[in-house]
């Protein structure tokens, strides 16, 4: 692995819990890796498996979905749908040649910035151990 390797992790964060937790972590100056690229979605249940695969195919080294705790979804059962899709995503990753450790789905509350930072750090460590996405530069003409 290259010592200058800096992973890129896409984090789909729900508007009501994941994103506010990230925001609160920033406000409270809780450190989390700069490898995260946060995408705000209204609900974790809106993240389709194709979005995860697209992120990985475009060069992301890892993808996270961060939603509300079960039973606390602002859209009734969106986070339950996301959990059901996570199983499909795991299967699809294997079919498309990605390690399943490049994907993580988790639930937290808007009042858990420390947990957000721990989860982000854990994912960053996991992805660093895996190394760069093997599909990262295939169609980009870049040989780094």
pLDDT of residue 109: 97
pLDDT of residue 81: 97
Per-residue pLDDT of the chain (144 residues; tens, 9 = 90+): 566 889 999 999 999 999 999 999 999 999 999 999 999 999 999 999 999 999 999 999 999 999 999 999 999 999 999 999 999 999 999 999 999 999 999 999 999 999 999 999 999 999 999 999 988 765 445 444
pLDDT of residue 119: 98
Contacts 24+ apart (CB under 8 A), 2-8: 2/132, 5/128, 5/131, 5/132, 6/35, 7/35, 7/61, 7/62, 7/124, 7/127, 7/128, 7/132, 8/35, 8/37, 8/59, 8/60, 8/61, 8/62
Residue 39 sits at φ, ψ, to 5 deg, of -120, 120
Q: CATH number for the 9-130 domain, one of 3.10.110, 1.10.260, 3.30.310, 3.40.50?
A: 3.40.50
pLDDT of residue 137: 63
Write down the domain spans for the chain. Answer: 9-130
Q: What is the pTM of this model?
A: 0.92
């Amino acid at each position: 692995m290259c010592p200058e390797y800096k992973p890129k992790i896409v984090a789909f964060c729900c508007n009501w819990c994941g994103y506010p937790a990230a925001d609160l972590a920033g406000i409270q100056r809780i450190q989390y890796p700069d490898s995260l690229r946060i995408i705000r979605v209204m609900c974790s249940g809106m993240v389709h498996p194709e979005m995860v695969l697209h992120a990985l195919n475009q060069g992301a080294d890892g993808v996270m979905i961060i939603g509300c705790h079960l039973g606390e979804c602002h859209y009734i059962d969106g986070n339950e749908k996301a959990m059901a899709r996570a199983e499909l995503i795991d299967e699809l990753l294997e079919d498309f040649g990605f390690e399943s450790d490049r994907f993580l789905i988790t639930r937290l509350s808007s009042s858990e910035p420390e947990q957000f930072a721990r989860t982000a750090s854990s994912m960053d460590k996991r992805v660093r151990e895996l190394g760069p996405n093997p599909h990262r530069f295939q169609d980009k003409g870049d040989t780094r």
